[in-house]
Amino acid sequence: MSWKKEKAILLSMGALLFGLMCFILGIAFGASSDQTEFSGTILPVLSVVGTWVSGLGSLGAVIVALWLAEKQRRAESELLELDLGFFIIPFASEAVLMISAVSKGKRPSEINSVSIYGKTANAKMYLVNFLPCGSQLPVNIGYGKKASFFCEVGFEYQIGEYISTNCNGSAKELELCVSTTTENFIYSPDASMKKTLEAFAAKSKSKLESSNG
C-alpha cells in the first residue's frame, strides 16, 4: 500500500472520529436546557468519549505496530519484479523473448527455474537452454541487480504449441513463474503479449494439422 493511500485512510478515520464526537456532543447539548442539566449530561458524555478516544488510540497504536512489523518483514524478504517481452539482440536473426527479473528485496534471490503455465493446464512448461549472452540458471542476484534470460530464436512457437495443446489455444490465464530457493514469483503478461502468443498458438496448430494431413 502506498503512502498516499495510507495517509488517506488515516485522515478518513480521523475525520470520522471527529464527526462522531461532534454528533454526540451536539445531542448532549441539545438535550440540556440549563447549567445543571448541562453538567449532568455533557460531563458524562465527555468521559465516555474520552474513554473511546483512548481505546481507539490504543487500538491504532497496535495496528500501526503490526503494520510496521509486517512492512519490515516484507522489506527484508525476497522481492522480484518480472517482465516478459521481445527484444532484438546481436547475432540473432530476429527478435527473441526475454524474461527479466529485478531484485527489489533486501534478501538476495537464488533463481532456480523459470516456467510458463496456464491456470487450468495439467502441466507446466519449464524454460531451459537460454542463450549464452544472458543469464543462466541457477543465478543469484542481490538488491538492484537484474537477471535477463534470452530464449532461443523461435522459442515463441514452442510456447504457442503449449498454449494450443494445454490451454485450448487461449493465453488468457497464462502466467510466468520464476522460482527461487524459497519463493515463487508470478507474472501475468499484458493483453498485447497474450494476444501475440495466441497468434503463435494458432500458427503452431495450423502447422500440426498440415503435417498430419
The pLDDT value given to residue 25: 63
- Indicate the SS3 state at residue 165: helix
Mean pLDDT computed over every residue of the chain? 82
Instruction: Tell me the CB-side half-sphere exposure of residue 24, using CA atoms within 13 A.
Output: 16
The pLDDT value given to residue 174: 96
| Residue 170 binned pLDDT confidence (cut-offs 50, 70, 90) | very high
The pLDDT value given to residue 40: 62
CA-to-CA distance for 64 and 133, rounded, in angstroms? 47
In this predicted model, which residue has the larger pLDDT, 10 or 136?
Answer: 136
Global pTM value:
0.66
The pLDDT value given to residue 127: 95
In this predicted model, which residue has the larger pLDDT, 35 or 10?
Answer: 10
CA-to-CA distance for 21 and 13, rounded, in angstroms? 12
Cell numbers for 189, please give them.
Answer: 503478461
The lowest-confidence range among 34-38, 180-184, 193-197 is 34-38
- Indicate the SS3 state at residue 33: coil
Does residue 32 register a pLDDT over 60? no
Q: Are 160 and 197 in contact (CB under 8 A)?
A: yes
- Indicate the SS3 state at residue 50: helix
Mean pLDDT of all residues in 18-46 = 61
User: 57-70 pLDDT, tens per residue?
Assistant: 776 777 777 777 76
Provide the angle, in degrees to the nearest 10, between the axes of the packed helices 191-212 and 155-166.
80
CA-to-CA distance for 156 and 69, rounded, in angstroms? 43
The 3-class secondary structure across 66-135, one letter per residue, is: HHHHHHHHHHCCCCEEEEEEEECCCCCCCCEEEEEEEECCCCCEEEEEEEEEECCCCCCEECCCCCCCCC
Q: How far is CA 211 from CA 26, 164, 206, 208, in A?
A: 83, 15, 9, 5
The pLDDT value given to residue 27: 62
Mean pLDDT of all residues in 79-96 = 92
Q: How far is CA 173 from CA 85, 178, 199, in A?
A: 17, 16, 15
User: 124-157 pLDDT, tens per residue?
Assistant: 999 999 999 999 999 999 999 999 999 999 999 9
Q: How far is CA 201 from CA 152, 196, 207, in A?
A: 17, 9, 10
The pLDDT value given to residue 28: 59
Closest CA to 48 of 15, 13, 19, 21: 21
